[in-house]
Amino acid sequence: MRLRSPFLTVFTLALLAVFSAAILVGCSSGPDFERPDKPKATGYTPESLAPQTSSAAGPGGAAQSFVPEKDIPGEWWTLFQSSQLDTLIKESLQANPDVDAAQAALRQARENFYAQQGGLFPTLTANGTGQQQLASPASQGQAGVGTMFSVNAASLNISYSPDVFGGVRRQVESKEATAEFQRFQLEATYLTLTSNVVVAAINLASLQAQIDATNGIIAILNNSLTVVRRQFRGIG
């Protein structure tokens, strides 16, 4: 007859408990998220672009070059050093419904993420009631003064559902990814709006310069016409 050591039995049960907990923790519903690979494209066009543009005489005619790996500040329009352009960008960001909608979507996604995280913790519910009642002897057919008494009740409930198979953690990861997506959507909205304003401002400045140049040409031609008329009158 073999005797089993109590210490060995307790150690075996503890080892089985740890092993079972490790298996349950490792079992998560759904596949593990795998970050996609970075794009393999190295340029914006199929063919290679010229490293530098042509130069021209006059203001702003210097040759331009594109640096692929150079970092650009968030307020990239300030590189133009134009106070008027800075004012236009500021006004557009303050009065654009797309920016407000993107900010609201980001706040909602973050709140949903925080709310989903609550599923990983116990739920605590507390209730309390209180009321006063008057016991009147008249209801019993007796004479006397009624007695006022209070009835108070309180309850406390604690519930917790263990996330054995990782379903709640997967939902938390999903909400976190949605919030991250909305953050990039907000950045894209900022970039689209500011770039559209800058392009419109540059086009407006270009058209205004063309109008000024045309008005200058008209003034020169009017002066030439005046000179010709005076010469014609002198000959006549």
Model confidence pLDDT, tens digit, residues 70-97: 788 888 999 888 999 999 999 999 889 9
Whether residue 54 is contained in a domain is answered as: no
Same domain, 149 and 219: no
pLDDT, residue 7, reads 46
3-state helix, strand, coil in the chain (%, to 5): 55, 10, 30
Encoding tokens for residue 66? 């594109």
Are residue 168 and residue 115 in the same domain, yes or no? yes
Q: Which residue has the tokens 């379903």?
A: 167
**175 domain residue, yes or no:** yes
State which amino acid sits at residue 43: G
84 and 172 share one domain: yes
The DSSP result for 57-68, as a single string, is: SSTT-S--B--T
d(CA 166, CA 184): 27
* Per-residue DSSP letter, 75: S
User: Scanning the structure block, which residue is given the tokens 């900022």?
Assistant: 190
Cβ atoms of 99 and 190 within 8 Å: the answer is yes
**Are 214 and 131 found together in one domain?**
no
Domain containing 141 equals 123-159
**183 burial level (CB within 10 Å; 0-12, 13-18, 19+):** middle
pTM above 0.95, yes or no: no
Neighbours of 184 (CB within 10 A): 10
**Residues 109 and 173 placed together within one structural domain of the fold:** yes
Q: Is residue 168 part of a domain?
A: yes
Residue 177 lies in a domain: yes
Q: Quote the Cα angle for 139-141-142, to 5°.
A: 105
Domain count along the chain: 2
Could you list the mean pLDDT of each consecutive 10-residue stretch along the chain, which spans 236 residues?
48 55 52 77 79 81 80 86 92 90 95 90 86 74 72 86 83 91 94 94 93 95 90 76
| 231 and 199 housed in the same domain | yes
Same domain, 169 and 152: no
Q: Which amino acid is at 212?
A: D
Asked whether 120 and 169 are in contact (CB, 8 A), the reply is yes
Check residue 1 and give its pLDDT. 43
CA distance 113 to 208: 50
